[in-house]
Amino acid sequence: MRKLFLAGFVGLFLVAVLAVAPARAAINGDYVEVRSADVYTGPCFANSEVDLEGKQAILAWKVRNGSWNGVSLDGLGLVAVVEANATLGDRFHDPYPAKAVLIVDRRANSEQRAALEAFAKSAGGRLLAHVVRVETASIALEVGEGDNHGSVKMAAGDLARIETRGLCQGDHLCGNEEVYYPPLTKVAHAMPAYTLEESFHGQGLGVVWQREGARSAFVGSFSL
């Protein structure tokens, strides 16, 4: 009787431990984001850009390993390009509804493509709720290591491109810089970076662009 009681107690204990243990991430990888306004800046610069700049963004994910909706996405990439109605991240203007173009890794099969699109909408929330066009392209995302972690190169065919470097002392202009706007999606870790180049030359948003030289990027990782 005592053995049965102990066995039952151990079983209940294991159930309780499993219930409170954190769920293991289903998917993880590298992330980069650039905006059309500085994200690492001081109030003086940010206030001069509000509702004039910061309405566009490019977001890119590279899956290291994991699955979404039961579909393996190991090694695949995904890019979202956004055009909003107001400065993204500004608390006093509503940027929604925003329009988005998704660029899905050309290597993805039909199941993986659907899973990547579903992942984007979950990670992006309202920002990616209104997808107006889905493209496919070869996607490469390379992240530097160690002291070069802020250095990222992303290319989605001829449609979108990002290149960043880490921030340095020369990027402090007013002395009051801070992370003024947070990242646009769910991230496990992110740090601001300097955008050397970012461009979009696709269809669907009614606008294309190419920009250089801004404190407008985040480099990090995601785990969902």
Q: Looking at the domain assignment, is residue 11 inside a domain? A: no
Q: Would 17 be classed as within a structural domain?
A: no
Lowest mean pLDDT among 12-16, 25-29, 78-82, 131-135: 12-16
Q: Which residues pair with 163 in a beta bridge?
A: 153, 197
- Residue with the bigger pLDDT between 99 and 41: it is 99
**Residue type, position 140, single letter:** A
Tell me what the mean pLDDT of segment 114-136 comes to: 97
pLDDT confidence band for 36 (50 / 70 / 90) = very high
The 3-state secondary structure of the chain, one letter per residue: CHHHHHHHHHHHHHHHHHHHCCCCCCEEEEEEEEECCCCEECHHHHHHHCCCCCCEEEEEEEEEEEEECCEECCCCEEEEEEECCCCCCCCCCCCCCCEEEEEEECCCCHHHHHHHHHHHHHHHHHHHCCEEEEEEECEEEEECCHHHCCCEEEEECCCEEEEEECCCHHHCCCCCCEECCCCCCCCCEEEEEEEEEEEECCCCCCCCEEECCEEEEEEEEEEC
pLDDT the model gives residue 12: 38
Segments forming the whole domain that contains residue 58: 25-223
Residue 9 lies in a domain: no
Domain-located, residue 10: no
| Total domains in the fold of the chain | 1
Q: Is residue 119 part of a domain?
A: yes
State yes or no: pLDDT of 143 exceeds 80: yes
Let me know if residue 4 belongs to a domain. no
Residue 90: predicted pLDDT: 82
Task: Evaluate whether residue 6 is within a structural domain.
Answer: no
Domain contains 144: yes
Please tell me the pTM assigned to this model: 0.85
pLDDT band at 170 (very low <50, low <70, confident <90, very high): low
What are the pLDDT digits (tens) for 73-97? Answer: 999 999 999 999 998 988 888 999 9
